[in-house]
């Protein structure tokens, strides 16, 4: 009664799952990920224990294939389950039980799989596979492209209600917080998921700009800020972008951006005053030089 994608990105070592369903808050049931371990989706007659038990087994060193077989062997309702696992090496294992509602199928690619049941047509899964395999961009971009392709073919027979995407990193020094974005109840959850992911990406680039500034790399900071774009609509993000511009000495640009923030949300002027009380850099750049 759901369709999903589970995938591994060899370039970054990241792996995750994305899903859409006509069910409230599908994020609570279907997608499971764990840092340094892997990802699981459980749907059809979903059993959330496949998520935590599968991740526990793979954390203990089992691969996705042996983990799936062990879980199915212990499940008296296995023929109603649709499950996919991906381990830290990017190996995928998938099961579609014979009693999953039509149309039910899966397609396995190199380090990824798409799967669904109770679908509008038998073209949904092939469309997802083609979209993911042929798309460019980040792993979240490609996974959302697969969900969009499913919707174009009718998606879940019942319609659309919720969606989610969870992506995590392998263990190692370059790990990050991962992606965890969900839409619990919306008339167009895939479009809303895509919108939220764009905002999530903007905040990530803001964080990268701040990190670059802390390291004294102004050129990298400027590059990250430019990638944010101009249409996020996020007052909070624009406030901190103004702070970052001021830290770089671009006071005219910073003043212009902060004036717009204060116009849209006057309380941020008080936020600036309070931050300046505890941060000498902000006090110097934003209270003295900018006169705020």
Handedness of CA 223, 225, 226, 227 (dihedral sign): positive
Quote the tokens at residue 211. 């990190």
For the segment 127-153, what is each residue's pLDDT rounded down to a tens digit? 999 999 999 999 999 999 999 999 999
The residue assigned the tokens 């792996």 is 15
For the segment 48-89, what is each residue's pLDDT rounded down to a tens digit? 999 999 999 999 999 999 999 999 999 999 999 999 999 999
Boundaries of every domain in the chain: 2-187, 202-288
Residue 27 has pLDDT above 50, yes or no: yes
Per the DSSP assignment, residues forming a β-bridge with 166 are 17, 180
Report the percentage of the chain scoring pLDDT > 70.
Answer: 94
φ, ψ of residue 171 in degrees (nearest 5): -65, 145
Per the DSSP assignment, residues forming a β-bridge with 20 are 3, 163
**Sheet hosting strand 92-96, strand order edge to edge:** 31-34, 38-44, 81-87, 92-96
Quote the tokens at residue 221. 């900071």
For the segment 175-222, what is each residue's pLDDT rounded down to a tens digit? 567 899 999 999 999 999 999 999 999 999 999 999 999 999 999 999
Residue 289 has pLDDT above 50, yes or no: no
pTM of the model: 0.91
Work out the pLDDT band at 1, boundaries 50, 70, 90: confident
3-class DSSP state of 250: coil
Q: Name residues whose C-beta falls within 8 Å of residue 285's C-beta, 6 or more positions apart in sequence.
A: 246, 247, 251, 254
3-class DSSP state of 79: helix
Low-confidence winner among 65-69, 265-269, 275-279 (lowest mean pLDDT)? 275-279
Closest CA to 269 of 255, 281, 250: 255
CATH code, 2-187: 3.60.20.10
For residue 20, how far is the Cα from the chain centroid? 13
């Amino acid at each position: 009664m759901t369709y999903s994608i589970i995938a591994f990105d060899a370039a970054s070592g990241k792996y995750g799952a994305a899903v859409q369903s006509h069910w409230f808050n599908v994020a609570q049931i279907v997608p499971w990920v764990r840092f340094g371990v892997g990802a699981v989706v459980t749907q059809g007659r979903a059993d959330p224990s496949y998520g935590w038990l599968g991740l526990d087994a793979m954390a203990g060193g089992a691969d996705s294939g042996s983990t799936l077989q062990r879980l199915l062997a212990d499940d008296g309702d296995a023929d109603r389950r649709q499950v996919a696992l991906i381990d830290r090496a990017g190996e995928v294992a998938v099961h579609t039980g014979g009693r999953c509602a039509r149309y039910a199928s899966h397609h396995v690619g190199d380090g990824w799989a798409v799967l669904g049941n109770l679908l509008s047509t038998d073209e949904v899964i092939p469309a997802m596979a083609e979209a993911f395999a042929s798309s460019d961009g980040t792993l979240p971009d490609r996974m959302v492209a697969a969900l969009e392709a499913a919707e174009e073919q009718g998606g879940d027979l019942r319609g659309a209600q919720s969606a989610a995407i969870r992506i995590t990193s392998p263990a190692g020094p370059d790990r990050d917080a991962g992606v965890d974005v969900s839409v619990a109840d919306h008339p167009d959850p895939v479009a809303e998921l895509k919108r939220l992911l764009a905002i999530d990406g903007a905040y990530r680039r803001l964080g990268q700009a701040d990190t670059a500034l802390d390291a004294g790399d102004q050129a990298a900071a400027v590059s990250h800020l430019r990638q944010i774009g101009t249409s996020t609509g996020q007052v909070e993000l624009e406030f901190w972008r103004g702070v970052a511009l001021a830290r770089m000495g671009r006071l005219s640009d910073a003043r212009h951006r902060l004036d717009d923030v204060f116009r849209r949300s006057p309380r941020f002027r008080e936020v600036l005053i309070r931050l300046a009380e505890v941060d000498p850099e902000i006090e110097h750049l934003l209270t003295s030089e900018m006169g705020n």
